[in-house]
Chains A and B, each alone.
Chain A
């Protein structure tokens, strides 16, 4: 058993290095007071970027989460909390199980902050870190790539499988290739919606778990091709999924080879070649109602399935732009057009985007070179 854990851990670590900052995050639910749900896509600007100079423990920011009046950012060197205009850092010295904080979620009922780190899961509440590891609890593995709160359940996607912790009964239930249709236990993302849990499984596409029936269903790439999507919209675009998210009746799944959406009947694929997507190498995706934010290695995109907005930073200076385009594959599979480019000064902190969170009129973005805060432009 321990050997297996070790193997998984090593595999995870290798993958971590190979993929740069490809830690993924998930978001289960749609905020009722989220952004405008009309066809009008929200555009964010007036960016303000934060780095170590501003108090972040590291510029490598893996994830970001808005929690009421404060913002939580997971970095390579600890958790950073932005409150009252100041950043405060928390590290293992304060009780974190590991300084690499790669995923954050906040329980809507209890307000507890759950942190996925490279050394275990942590419940941060009332100033205290309560840590769960593969040694002291039923947790599958200490490399926690994604954590989400779903009612009283806390779901994790780890290098040793996915699982959930019932905060009421204090029981763990974990899923690996042994008891779920996974290719292997390595999971990157998890999200919740429509009474289901969607696990982004490395090489296994999306694993759907219906909570009521406790039944699994897996969605894999029908063509099985690693490099290209042979038949458009025949299913998920790739088996190596990096994140899932659910919003407004749609499941979104990101891969390193494009984006997919699923309405319960049909899958659709999205590639940079055919739409306003910044890159096919997608680290993370989060839906806020009908709008989904896509974190790629070459900028941040958002879409409602028709309109696209991509935020990119210039290579040589701190400025950049928001590229707005409209596209409807139903109308014309090759045509999409940029309708407008809005210059941004400054732009987002970096084009390697790993995490995002939106709330009302602000958007927070986690990048390789700091965290960015954008305001909704009227």
Chain B
């Protein structure tokens, strides 16, 4: 037989075989992808699921990488060194500002947040947000010399005016730990605003100002406000909680050198306004608060947005030593906004309180005080000025860089590479998408805005599904949700691919939907890159307290206090099945409101539930207790009315102890090794 004949026949056979495999194979693949993504249009890419959303194992290790993710930084007194908190690498990076090189990397605790220097510049204090401690680092020796125990979730740091005490802002337990630096003991614990973070001593050294990110917990519809906690530095006691109205997410605070004005970054959300459009700031506006530090001093709010352009997620704030300019980093839009402080002062001084209140809802007024917008690398977070005020250093969190900006030319002049991995993994790309507002119309908000720290913002939104004013929705956490499908309270989205698909863009971002590549990246990040904090406050090592153990029994009980069998469907554990404490099914617990469409609700997952107030789908329960004391009277959400208050407290203590299975596993391993 001729070779050509063989080739032709062979080709024919291969073709027939290929066709036989291709069409049914493709059909199978389509059905498989449809099932896995709960969509009908996702491309047939094996990588979407088989590579990008693997959390453990060889593939996950190969596909993912650990970045630096700088979040905050400070500059040495002589300006020669930068101390950069690399949050993802659990390290403090020491950078030579002249050579622009990282000269030392000191390992710190889990998920470090902030760094400050001692008065003599010899020590650095680093707050480890997920370790509940502060590391004291001897900078000349380059090592950790002490560990100071704090409250839950230490974030912002400040020294007392005399340098003898360290204030640690406990962002999870919402208080401030005062540590005597000589005895290294906590000498006071001061209650702060909800989810506090930034802290700064006023220039006169009299008061410490602490920002808070979440609002004061009020019933849906009541005016929102967040608190600026003011602590008297000499008495180490509360001076006042200053109300910042209609605002939240106050990340950081700064003062003019003469102390006449303080500035805080903030967001003014529109969660009560039906979410029917994005245009003209109908969802989120971003800005800053200006306050007179003295007791009872005025508080005003101004926006950094413009009618057709928004500068989402303001984070860092710094003021030049001459008090002329303020810089605000917008983490969601990769910009530094430069503010002329004299113009702000003139605007405030030249207007009545009534008019100033209108200014806070005015997108045009920013043209009066904004001098410049400076583009930065991805996700600018903490910012710090050189001692002479000539350079502004910007922690470009998702670029692993420190951007350097001239405060005179107001241009980016250089960049310092912190040495993170060069390649951008799919999950990293997803994290950038998560944190960037470019996928929302006019950059008004990003995933992070309503899900700060990938959690939730504590607000209830007027999502107005079919009708305005209906279906109000409590924001849900995105931490550790990979095993908790379906998503949304209505449970309509079986996968993240669907959740963040076309409907998401139609009703939420209102701009072009994510490309499939972006959707894969975002899904990869959400499913693999977002973890729950370790719940050190209520369950530090897996050993439950007596009350929690009693509560666990109640959670798992099958009979009520009178010995009657509890119907299976009405037992806690039936719907809230470990390890995520959800059975991933829809339920009816008689919480449907008159303003809700008639639906069942997805059983929410409960790990770290202590950090997710308010509760229930519409946030009607301000605390875990209220779920039952106010809204569980009919015994439809578990049998509860046979219980004493002690038993209810025990149950709630147990619920507060729930944490991600990852930590259970880690503690099991530790205990095993010990034994």
CB of A173, distance to nearest CB on chain B (Å): 7
| Minimum CB–CB distance for B349 against chain A, Å | 26
- The reply to whether the CB of B641 lies closer than 8 angstroms to some CB of chain A is yes
Contact partners of B646 in chain A: CB under 8 A: 161, 174, 176, 178-179
> Which B positions have Cβ atoms within 8 angstroms of A?
151, 173, 175, 187-191, 227, 229-230, 235, 237-241, 537-538, 547, 622-623, 625-626, 629-630, 633, 640-646, 648-649, 652-653
Residues of B within 8 A of A232 (CB): none
Chain A hits for B188, CB < 8 A: 109-110
A154-186 near B? 1/0 per residue, CB < 8 Å: 000000110000011111111010110000000
A125-B633 in contact (CB<8A): no
The one of B191, B622, B623, B642 in contact with A125, judged by C-beta atoms closer than 8 angstroms, is B191
Instruction: Select which of B237, B625, B641, B643 is within 8 A of A137 by beta carbon.
Output: B625
CB distance from B455 to the nearest CB of A (A): 18
- Chain B residues with CB under 8 A of A137: 623, 625
**Complex CA distance for A4 and B642, rounded to whole angstroms:** 10
Q: Which residues of A sit under 8 angstroms from B629, Cβ to Cβ?
A: 2, 134-136
In the complex, whether A359 has a CB less than 8 A from a CB of chain B is no
Contact status of A110 and B191, CB under 8 A, knowing A1-B640, A173-B547: yes
Q: Which 10 A-B pairs have the closest CB atoms?
A: A111-B237, A126-B238, A126-B241, A135-B629, A138-B649, A126-B240, A128-B241, A125-B238, A136-B623, A127-B240
Q: How far is the CA of A143 from the CA of B538 in the complex (A)?
A: 28
Check if A136 sits within 8 Å of B625, measured CB to CB.
yes
Q: Say whether A119 faces chain B, with CB atoms less than 8 Å apart.
A: no
Known pairs A136-B626, A167-B191, A173-B547 / 10 extra A-B pairs, C-beta < 8 Å: A1-B642, A4-B644, A126-B229, A136-B625, A136-B629, A137-B623, A138-B645, A138-B652, A160-B645, A176-B646
B237 partner residues in chain A, CB cutoff 8 A: 110-111
A373 within 8 A of partner (CB): no
Say yes or no for A39: interface residue by CB 8 A criterion.
Answer: no
- Whether A5 contacts B645 in the complex (CB less than 8 A), given A109-B188, A173-B547, comes out as yes
Interface string of A119-142 (1 = CB under 8 A from B): 000010111101000111110110
Smallest beta-carbon distance A26→chain B, Å: 21
Q: Are A112 and B191 in contact (CB under 8 A)?
A: yes
Question: A126 to B516, alpha carbons, bound, how many Å?
Answer: 51
Q: Which residues of B are found within 8 Å of A136, using beta-carbon distances?
A: 622-623, 625-626, 629
What CA separation (Å) do A72 and B453 show in the bound complex?
42
When distances are taken between beta carbons in the complex, the residues of chain A under 8 Å from B640 are: 1
Partner of B649 from the list A123, A125, A172 (CB cut-off 8 Å) is A172
A276–B99 Cα distance when bound, in Å, is 84
Task: Give every chain A residue within 8 A of B189 (Cβ-Cβ).
Answer: 109-110, 152, 167-168
Chain A residues within 8 Å of B175, by CB: 167-168
User: Given the complex of chains A and B, what is the CA–CA distance between A128 and B644 in angstroms?
Assistant: 31
Contact with B along A97-125 (1 / 0, CB 8 A): 00000000000011110000000000101
The chain A residue with its CB closest to the CB of B630 is A135
Shortest distance from the beta carbon of B458 to any chain A beta carbon, whole Å: 16
23 pairs from A and B in contact (CB 8 Å cutoff): A1-B641, A1-B642, A1-B645, A1-B648, A5-B645, A109-B188, A109-B189, A110-B190, A110-B191, A111-B238, A112-B191, A125-B191, A126-B230, A126-B240, A127-B240, A130-B191, A135-B625, A135-B629, A138-B645, A168-B151, A169-B173, A169-B537, A169-B538
A134 surroundings in chain B (CB, below 8 A): 629, 645
Q: In the docked arrangement, what's the CA distance between A1 and B635, Å? A: 11
Q: What A residues does B227 contact at CB under 8 A?
A: 128
Nearest A residue to B610 by beta-carbon distance? A170
A94 CB to closest chain B CB, in angstroms? Answer: 13
Minimal beta-carbon separation of B550 from chain A (angstroms): 10
| C-alpha spacing A165/B194, complex, angstroms | 18
Cα distance, A126 to B643, chains bound together (Å) = 36
Q: How far is the CA of A169 from the CA of B653 in the complex (A)?
A: 11
Could you say which residues of chain A place their CB within 8 Å of the CB of B187?
109
Residues of the A chain whose Cβ atoms lie less than 8 Å from the Cβ of B241 = 125-128
User: Which B residues are CB-close (under 8 A) to A169?
Assistant: 173, 537-538
A-chain residues with CB within 8 Å of residue B538 when the two chains form the complex: 169
Expressed in whole angstroms, the Cα–Cα distance for A95 and B238 within the complex equals: 18
Contact of B235 among A111, A135, A138, A170 (CB under 8 A): A111
Q: Which residues of B contact A109 (CB under 8 A)?
A: 187-189
In the bound assembly, the distance between CA atoms of A179 and B630 in angstroms comes to 25
A112-B191, A126-B241, A128-B241 given as contacts; is B644 within 8 A of A1 (CB)? yes
Nearest to B547 among chain A residues (CB) is: A173
CB-based nearest B residue for A123:
B191
> Chain B residues with Cβ under 8 A from A135's Cβ?
625-626, 629-630
Give which listed residue, A127, A130, A174, contacts B645 with CB less than 8 A: A174
Residues of A within 8 A of B630 (CB): 135
Chain A residues, CB < 8 A from B190 = 110
A 321-361 binary contact with B (CB < 8 Å = 1; else 0) = 00000000000000000000000000000000000000000
> Complex formed: what's the CA distance from A148 to B625 in Å?
23
State the Cβ distance, B155 to closest chain A Cβ, in Å: 17
Minimum Cβ distance to chain A for residue B548 (Å) = 10
Q: A86–B569 Cα gap in the complex (Å)? A: 60
Taking a contact as CB atoms closer than 8 A, the residue among A112, A173, A178 that contacts B644 in the complex is: A178
Could you mark each residue 174-212 of chain A with 1 if its beta carbon is under 8 Å from any beta carbon of chain B, else 0?
A: 101011000000000000000000000000000000000
Tell me which residues across on chain B come within 8 A of A178, comparing CB atoms: 644, 646
Chain B contacts for A152, CB-based, 8 A:
189
Distance between Cα atoms of A314 and B648 in the complex (Å): 52
User: How far, in angstroms, from A170 to B153 measured CA to CA in the complex?
Assistant: 14
A134–B629 Cα gap in the complex (Å)? 8
CA distance A167 to B176 in the complex (A): 12
Q: Which residue of A lies closest to B633 (CB)?
A: A2
A123 proximity list for chain B (CB < 8 A): 191
Chain B residues within an 8 Å CB radius of A4: 644
Q: Which residue of B lies closest to A179 (CB)?
A: B646
- For A128, the closest partner residue in chain B by CB is B241
Q: Roughly how many angstroms separate A168 CA and B547 CA in the complex, as a whole number?
A: 17
Residues of B within 8 Å of A2, CB to CB, are: 629, 633, 641
* A134 vs B191: C-alpha distance when bound (angstroms): 21
Most A CB contacts (10 A, CB to CB) among B191, B230, B239, B633 go to B191
CA–CA, A141 to B629, complex, Å? Answer: 12
> Which residues on the A side are within 8 Å of B645 (C-beta)?
1, 5, 134, 138, 140-141, 160-161, 174, 176
**Nearest Cβ distance between residue A133 and chain B, in whole angstroms?**
9
A250 to chain B, nearest CB (A): 30
In the complex, what distance in Å separates the CA atom of A161 from the CA atom of B645?
10
Q: Which of B230, B238, B642, B643: most chain A Cβ within 10 A?
A: B238
Specify which of B173, B189, B629, B644 lies most central, judged by the most chain A CB atoms within 10 Å of its CB.
Answer: B644
| Chain B residue nearest in CB terms to A138 | B649
- Bound-complex Cα distance A126 to B235 (A): 13
Measured CA separation A173–B545 after assembly (Å) = 12
Q: How far is the CB of A8 from chain B (nearest CB, A)?
A: 10
Q: Tell which of A123, A140, A170, A176 has the most Cβ of chain B within 10 Å.
A: A170
Please measure, in the bound complex, the distance between the C-alpha atom of A125 and the C-alpha atom of B230, giving whole angstroms: 11
- Residue of A at shortest CB range from B628? A1
